[in-house]
Amino acid sequence: MSGRRFPPSSYAPIVAILSLLAIIVEAYGHNDGSGCYTSIVSFGDSLADTGNLVRIASQSHPPHFAFPPYGETFFGYPTGRCSDGRLVVDFIAEALGLPLLPPNFADQEESFGDFQKGVNFAVAGATALDVSFFRERGLENPFSNSTLGVQLGLFKQLLPSLCGSDSDCKEFLGNSLVLMGEIGGNDYNYPFLVGKNIREIREYVPFIVNEIASAINELINMGAVTILVPGNLPIGCLPVYLTSFETSDQSQYDSHTGCLKWLNEFAEYHNVRLQTKLDEIRKLWPNVRIVYADYYHAALRFFHSPTQFGFDGNGEVLKACCGSDGPYNINPSVSCGDPGANLCDDPSMYVSWDGIHLTEAAYRWLFNSLFEDRYTVPAFRLSCPNAARKGNVLSPSLSTGKIWRLFFSS
């Protein structure tokens, strides 16, 4: 290159451009709600559990999802996930270029990477409400007492080891995507499946929604900036409910989907109450991004138009891939993973994996729905430069100094 020099005035436009680029680069180091997250913190139940329950359950009575064929589609072995493969939380981590979330109860010997990049407190069977609420009503959670409050308490215990000082912890949470569930589904599953009256169960809804809201407010006070809150699924389409409440009264079924209308209406009632509560929180915290994920309507599409999503449209969409017998491949005495259970040939053709949890294929579609504006309020984006979907964005390794050198080094 020649040694030709330019007058100082000619540098002005370049300096302005470089200053703007420097600001952009520096902004990528901090989450401003634009979708760049350096870690994920997850709470919830079996829809998000990546292995906690199998690690805290009694070794003499491990849960049935600790056995094959759970995990067969992606991992090739059971991981403690209640599916044949990945969950929504896994797809989010992959999209952000982060490791799959390790369960909080992972042993130190297990190679799950750094909790600073993500940690999962979700436990299969967990409820939003405390066990005392149900005991007062003659109900017992048969799986665990790892309620939402317990999970939040465990997170607060772990947090100082992740970030140290209060200011650092606020920064850590501010740069994290917090997944609040799905949580609350089991608060209804247990009473419904033991025969509690729907009028009584409706009375639980405000307590459950308030418990979720309380956890969200506490996390915001701790520094959370972006919280993703999924609603309940269309439970009237789940094989376990279709089996438990099977009836000859055809008026109880949706003629287009075959789902039980009254159960789906109940799920919608919960979701409406939850969204109303989230609106109240947004008014209290206008600078916090609280995103409602409409799992209900996103999943309902599978049953209206199964072939559009690659599922079996020949009457199999309401059946479990892994189960036993009956019209929906569900037998309460033989669960998936138990001896004698049968397995479909291709899980990707099914919405339901084991009657109450979804297949990896269905979870993938739920993940995709997060980026369709009609299924999130407000719109949700993952735009971190490290993400798998990074597109044409500035590399985080391109520091301010490197920008200057690109222009002036040759």
Catalytically annotated residues? 46, 354, 357
Strand order in the sheet with 118-120: 118-120, 39-43, 176-180, 226-230, 289-293, 376-377
Task: Give a three-class secondary structure readout of 42-59.
Answer: EECCCCCCCCHHHHHCCC
Residue carrying structure tokens 């991981």: 79
CB burial readout 200-235, b (16+ within 10 A) else e: ebeebbeebbebbbebbeebbebbbbbbbbbbbbbb
Closest CA to 146 of 169, 120, 172: 120
Tell me the C-alpha distance between 40 and 248, whole Å.
46
Q: How far apart are the first and last CA of the chain?
A: 7
DSSP code of 98?
Answer: P
Cα angle for residues 366, 268, 381 (degrees, 5° grid): 35
Closest CA to 131 of 115, 121, 146: 146
Tell me the C-alpha distance between 327 and 329, whole Å.
6
**Rg of the chain's alpha carbons, rounded to an integer?**
24
Tell me the C-alpha distance between 79 and 240, whole Å.
23
Query: Does an H or E element contain 119, and which?
Result: strand 118-120
Tell me the C-alpha distance between 74 and 83, whole Å.
10
**H helices, E strands: number in the chain:** 14, 8
Query: Does an H or E element contain 292, and which?
Result: strand 289-293
